Amino acid sequence: MKTMKTIKTMKTVKEYGYIFLASVIMISLTSCGNDSDPAPIPTPVVNTTYQGDITEDVTWTSNNIYTLDGRVMVIDGVTLTIESGTIIKGAAGTGADASCLVIARGGKIMANGTEIDPIVFTSIADDITDGKSGFGTGLSPADQGLWGGILILGKADISADANPKQIEGIPVEETNGLYGGGNTNNNNDNSGVFHYVQIRHGGAEIGEGNEINGLTLGGVGSGTSIHHVEIIANLDDGLECFGGSVDISNVLVWGQGDDAFDIDQSYSGNIDNFLGILVDGDQGLEIDGWEGTMQADFTLTNGTIIGAVGEKNNCGTFKSNASGSATNMLFTNMKLGATLTVDAGVTGITFSNISFDSGTDFSTTLIDGLVGIDFDANTSSNGGANLDNFNNWTCASTMGVY
């Protein structure tokens, strides 16, 4: 664990040369007495590297490129503001050296991207210049685990009895890795805003079979605003919610290595208008429920899972303690034999308007464990997410994959 908390700003000699040259040109143009206004001189990009804890409020601006070198943590009482159009890159590393951004309990992130200028988190191997230019040179959904990911931790309720709890992906000795409020009615906790953000090529391994999710939400409260998020090529899950009550909308996961959407520990919010595009992952949905004594219900509405012919790529699984509802779901282009599984003993889930498109061989698409469950399935291509909500600002839209 890094004990030194540093913020380093680096300008190369070459960059200083550009600044000097720009000054000379400006003086020359001014002295010529030309009636026409001179062309503006672009501000050189400054590469700024962060390590360790961020201990005071800071704003990351779109004219800079920021590098996360190892685990960077926004601690309690501190706000990180990120301008629309800003690019943040994670350095390579695994284990304790995996690069990631953690918003600790009591900290805030104000990442307010726009449809025109989304915020991008990606790898230093990615040479993109904006959030709408597709993949960087030589990169694809197969390039996973090049850095860590984003973890937002709050004080809202989680079901585990031992509250607060340490988030997966962060060593136990790091106290800023705690999440959950201990069932103390903090469900309106506010961790900030996360709008129009892309997260690419994450999921670095931190231990044997243990990787970081693209976006991890641990005990995040309903005072937080999360919408329009794209998670691409993450080695582990795309989005995972550990308890909490935050509502999430317009989220797209593409090319994850494990599950597209994973919820656990009595998550009580609503995930609305979501799209999972499977390449060779595991489940479109992995829905677990409560641990310990607290039980709360999830809500899934307006979701589409687009399958592929990968070895795994199942529709989803609802585990024994899952409790909540799934409404208006479409599973399309799933492999033959793909399953939507509900574990034996599940009694707390309702399903309505669950559709499989006409291209699916329904006779070999198994619907398991649904005895006693309110389940309304059909073989049409009706329903699902409104895909127009992902146009214009996502990499998936630029690349034409849906």
Percent of the chain with pLDDT over 70: 81
Token match 């509250």: residue?
A: 163
pLDDT digits 0-9 by tens, 195-238:
999 999 999 987 666 789 999 999 999 999 999 999 999 999 99
Residue 40 has pLDDT above 70, yes or no: no
Token match 């937080």: residue?
A: 224
pLDDT digits 0-9 by tens, 261-288:
999 999 999 999 999 999 988 899 999 9
Domains, the chain, ranges and CATH?
A: 48-399 (2.160.20)
Residue 15 has pLDDT above 70, yes or no: no
Residue range 160-178: mean pLDDT, rounded: 85
Residue range 350-358: mean pLDDT, rounded: 84
Question: What torsion, rounded to 10 degrees, do the Cα atoms 100, 103, 104, 107 define?
Answer: 150
Residue range 138-161: mean pLDDT, rounded: 93
Query: What residues pair up with 65 in beta bridges, in sequence order?
Result: 47, 87
Two structure tokens written together for 178: 């705690």
Please report the pLDDT score of residue 37 as a whole number.
58
What's the whole-model pTM score? Answer: 0.87
pLDDT digits 0-9 by tens, 285-343:
999 988 888 889 999 999 999 987 666 778 899 987 889 999 999 998 888 778 888 88
Higher pLDDT, 276 or 350: 276
Please report the pLDDT score of residue 57 as a whole number.
98
Nearby residues of 33 by Cβ (< 8 Å), 6 or more positions away: none
Which of 225, 230, 297, 239 shows the shortest CA–CA distance to 266?
297
Which of 102, 114, 212, 202 shows the shortest CA–CA distance to 153?
102
Higher pLDDT, 103 or 321: 103
Please report the pLDDT score of residue 132 as a whole number.
82
Residue 12 has pLDDT above 50, yes or no: no
Q: What is the mean pLDDT of the chain?
A: 84
Query: CA-to-CA distance for 268 and 245, rounded, in angstroms?
Result: 5
Please report the pLDDT score of residue 24 as a whole number.
31
pLDDT digits 0-9 by tens, 21-34:
333 333 333 333 44
Residue range 185-191: mean pLDDT, rounded: 91
Region of 91 on the Ramachandran plot (φ > 0 left; ψ -120 to 50 alpha; else beta): beta
For 389, counting Cβ atoms within 10 Å of its Cβ (0-12 exposed, 13-18 middle, 19+ buried), the class is buried
Which of 191, 243, 238, 162 shows the shortest CA–CA distance to 78?
191
Cβ contact 74:103 at 8 Å: yes
Residue range 176-198: mean pLDDT, rounded: 90
Percent of the chain with pLDDT over 90: 57
Residue 16 has pLDDT above 70, yes or no: no
Two structure tokens written together for 119: 């915020």
Please report the pLDDT score of residue 60 as a whole number.
98
